[in-house]
């Protein structure tokens, strides 16, 4: 591990003393070669949403699973969602039954809501909390133009990864340290960490 990776670990571990970091996987639960799984192995503080039907894109089920995972959590939470999990994260942000305050959202390669018929469940307004969206120009699940539009709607900072596919294991994203750098920035924006320098 190089010096920068060690600093990332230190910043996020310190932030985790005051906020909960929650992984919200997409379809098929982000397998062992996915960056979410690498992050969970790298840092011990992660909470990970779990459910029994990862093959069925039912956004209500994803929201319920996120609510269950946060039951008993007494800290603000930062959600890190990928693909359909990113859509569930933004929907959960405005869920009236949510009891845990959210400190931020990291939305990586969100799925196109119309593709799954969930556009009515997805907020059409600013999220009202720090958010960063990471998007790709050749993502088969959402066009970059649509990602840009959603980032503007949600008032999320857009990070353009260029030609990066769906930002998953198949696109070559395993440990993905740059993603953790972005998470450090989000934690700093939310007031839980110093800037990564």
The per-residue pLDDT for 96 is: 85
Question: Residue 67: left if φ>0, alpha if ψ -120 to 50, beta else—which one?
Answer: alpha
Q: Which domains does the chain have, with CATH numbers?
A: 3-189 (3.40.50.1820)
> Which SS3 state, helix, strand or coil, does residue 32 take?
coil
Give, for 14, the enclosing helix (H) or strand (E): helix 3-15
CA dihedral sign of residues 61, 70, 78, 45? negative
Gyration radius of the chain's alpha carbons: 15
> Which SS3 state, helix, strand or coil, does residue 105 take?
strand
The per-residue pLDDT for 195 is: 87
Give, for 86, the enclosing helix (H) or strand (E): helix 84-93
Instruction: Taking residues 118-136, report their average pLDDT.
Output: 95
Q: pLDDT by residue (tens digit) across 26-40? A: 999 988 999 999 999
Q: pLDDT by residue (tens digit) across 86-104? A: 999 999 998 888 889 999 9
Residue 70, class by beta-carbon neighbours within 10 Å (0-12 exposed, 13-18 middle, 19+ buried)? buried
The per-residue pLDDT for 55 is: 93
Name 145's Cβ contacts closer than 8 Å, sequence gap at least 6: none
Question: Is residue 143 scored above 80 in pLDDT?
Answer: yes
Cα–Cα distance, 74 to 82 (Å, whole number) = 24
Largest CA-CA distance found in the chain, in angstroms, rounded: 45
For residue 103, which phi and psi values (nearest 5 degrees)?
Answer: -100, -20
Instruction: Copy the structure tokens of residue 189.
Output: 């924006």
CA dihedral sign of residues 99, 152, 84, 123? positive
């Amino acid at each position: 591990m190089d010096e920068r990776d060690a600093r990332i670990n230190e910043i996020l571990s310190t932030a985790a003393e005051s906020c909960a970091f929650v992984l919200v996987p997409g379809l098929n639960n982000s397998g062992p070669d996915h960056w979410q799984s690498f992050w969970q192995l790298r840092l011990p503080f992660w909470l990970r949403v779990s459910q029994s039907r990862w093959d069925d894109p039912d956004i209500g089920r994803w929201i319920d699973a996120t609510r269950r995972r946060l039951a008993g959590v007494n800290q603000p939470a930062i959600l890190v969602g990928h693909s359909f999990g990113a859509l569930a994260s933004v929907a959960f942000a405005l869920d009236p039954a949510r009891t845990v305050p959210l400190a931020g959202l990291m939305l990586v390669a969100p799925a196109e809501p119309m593709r799954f018929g969930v556009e009515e469940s997805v907020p059409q307004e600013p999220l009202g909390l720090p958010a960063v969206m990471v998007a790709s120009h050749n993502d088969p699940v959402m066009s970059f133009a649509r990602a840009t539009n959603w980032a503007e709607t949600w008032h999320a900072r857009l990070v353009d990864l260029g030609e990066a596919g769906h930002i998953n294991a198949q696109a070559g994203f395993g440990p993905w340290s740059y993603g953790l750098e972005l998470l450090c920035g989000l934690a700093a924006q939310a007031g839980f960490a110093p800037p990564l320098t």
